[in-house]
Amino acid sequence: MVGGIGVFILAVIALVIILILPSKTQAPTTGGTATTTDSAAAHADLIRADSPEPGSTITSPLTLSGQARGTWYFEASFPYELDAQDGTVLAQGPAQAQGEWTTTDFVPFLATITFPAQPAGSKGMLTLKKDNPSGDPAHDDKLIIPVTF
């Protein structure tokens, strides 16, 4: 009788876990297009890119500049990635804080991005990633800036 109750309790716990966990996970975003949550408007209180502006035509070298909350950085930097429309990585590196980053206030950032020439009029995207040293996907965040080459 006691063994049957134990099995029943384990079954109920397993059912609760199965029903709750999937509802807390998020589907990953697909590459190539910005989703609403990756947009500048959705991130205005976390990170603001002054240059380049969304949809602008860029050439190499590109100056990346703007402001991000100190929580976007780790060790005074955060990663960026410039991709062609087909997903080819053209450049990646760190954007550097231009001030004291251990704050919750906005801190200016700057990076110079050098990349190979692309066909005129082709599209791409510049992704500014929240630095996440923990590796925990729950702490990931990004701002995607669509660009034209």
Does residue 12 sit within a domain? no
pLDDT beyond 60 at 26: no
The pLDDT of residue 23 is above 50: no
User: Would 22 be classed as within a structural domain?
Assistant: no
Q: Which domain holds residue 117?
A: 41-148
Residue 72 lies in a domain: yes
Distance CA 70, CA 104 (A): 5
4 belongs to a structural domain: no
Q: CATH number, domain at 70?
A: 2.60.40.2550
Q: How many domains does the chain have?
A: 1
Q: Note whether residue 26 is domain-resident.
A: no
Predicted confidence at residue 4, as pLDDT, reads 66
User: Residue 70 corresponds to which tokens in the numbers above?
Assistant: 């100190």
**pLDDT surpassing 60 at residue 37:** no
Block residue for tokens 């080459």: 149
Q: Does a structural domain hold residue 14? A: no
Q: What percent of the chain has pLDDT over 70?
A: 74
In order, the DSSP letters of 35-79 are -GGGSTGGGTTTEEEEESPTT-B--SSEEEEEEEEGGG-BTTEEE
- Per the domain annotation, does 13 fall within a domain? no
Asked whether the predicted pLDDT for residue 55 surpasses 50, the reply is yes
pLDDT of 146 over the 60 cut? yes
Band of pLDDT at residue 117, cut at 50, 70 and 90: very high
In a domain, 117, yes or no: yes
